[in-house]
Amino acid sequence: MIRLNDRLAAVFSVIDPTDQVMDVGCDHAFLAIALKEKYKDMNVVASDNKEGPLKHAKENIKKNHLEGKIELRFGNGIQVLDEKTDTVVISGMGGLNMIGIFKYEEAKRKQIRKIVLSPNSDVESVRREFMKMGYQIYREKLVRDGKFIYPVIDFRKGRVHYGKKDLLLGPVLRKEKSPLFLEWNQKEIDRISQLIKVLPKGFWQKRIRLRRNLKIHKTVLKTL
């Protein structure tokens, strides 16, 4: 059984047995291998837009005796999506890049009922834009990876409206208030406070946005 790091293990945990998965930006295909080892009947595709990672993925698939059971695909984002896939996974990529992969592929999006994302940045924008694309947050969790804390978000098709607090903090995370969420929230308070101090005077609009976000983060502490 292949071993996953904590972040990929968290992503793995929100994949259901009936999902038909494409892992975009598969890197070494560890997630795809783990899925196929556990769910023998799952259709699993590993894709990347670089030849190097696909070469490593192919080697790892062979090493784990899964040749012919995991399909490798070279291409950008969901442009190489096939008709069998209904679940797309992307982990370890900037949030704005994730948005771009889906935003301009409306025809491909129609068949995707579930999207699992673990962005490195711009998480609030990810929540907002996928809400606009017709997805709601079904599950979300936080995972520690080294000194960083990252979200894992399970989006499902469905119309919903999230307010500012939900977009910034996560509608599920802010209700559960796990110890890791509280730690992340404090880190955000510290980060934003420091950023406000060093921001040049000309960036007054950004300062207003940061102060608004800081106020929301501090409300979490008041409800403990």
Q: What is the CATH number of the domain that holds 44?
A: 3.40.50.150
Are residues 23 and 58 both part of a single domain? yes
Closest CA to 44 of 35, 52, 53: 35
Are residues 157 and 200 both part of a single domain? no
Torsion of CA 133, 138, 143, 145, to 10 degrees: -30
Q: What is the pLDDT of residue 222?
A: 85
Q: What is the pLDDT of residue 1?
A: 80
For residues 137 and 147, is the Cβ–Cβ distance under 8 A? no
Residue 32, domain member (yes or no): yes
Q: What is the rounded radius of gyration, in angstroms, for the C-alpha atoms of the chain?
A: 19
CA angle 55–14–120, rounded 5-degree value: 60
Helices (H), 43-178: 51-63, 95-103, 106-109, 123-132, 164-169, 173-176
Are residues 221 and 138 both part of a single domain? no
Residue 45, domain member (yes or no): yes
Are residues 102 and 202 both part of a single domain? no
DSSP 78: G
Q: Considering 130, 165, 200, which residue would you say is the last residue of a domain?
A: 165
Are residues 119 and 200 both part of a single domain? no
pTM of the model: 0.95
How many domains, in total, are found in the chain? 2
Which portions of the chain are predicted below pLDDT 50? none
Are residues 109 and 190 both part of a single domain? no
Q: Considering 145, 165, 185, which residue would you say is the last residue of a domain?
A: 165
Q: What is the pLDDT of residue 221?
A: 87
Are residues 20 and 58 both part of a single domain? yes
Q: What is the pLDDT of residue 74?
A: 96
For residues 85 and 118, is the Cβ–Cβ distance under 8 A? no
Are residues 15 and 84 both part of a single domain? yes
Q: What is the pLDDT of residue 73?
A: 96
Residue 172, domain member (yes or no): no
Are residues 97 and 128 both part of a single domain? yes
**Residue 153: which H helix or E strand, with range?**
strand 148-157
Residue 64, domain member (yes or no): yes
Q: What is the pLDDT of residue 124?
A: 98
For 39-76, write each residue's pLDDT tens digit: 999 999 999 999 999 999 999 999 999 999 999 999 99
Q: Considering 165, 199, 215, which residue would you say is the last residue of a domain?
A: 165
Strand 148-157 to strand 135-145: parallel, antiparallel, or no bridges (unpaired)?
A: antiparallel
Closest CA to 86 of 42, 48, 124: 42
**Residue 182: which H helix or E strand, with range?**
helix 179-198
Q: What is the pLDDT of residue 200?
A: 93
DSSP 88: E
Are residues 83 and 186 both part of a single domain? no
Are residues 109 and 133 both part of a single domain? yes
Residue 171, domain member (yes or no): no
In the chain, % helix, strand, coil (3-state, to 5) comes to: 45, 20, 30
Are residues 81 and 45 both part of a single domain? yes
CA pair distance 16, 79, nearest whole angstrom: 23
> What's the domain range around 10?
6-165
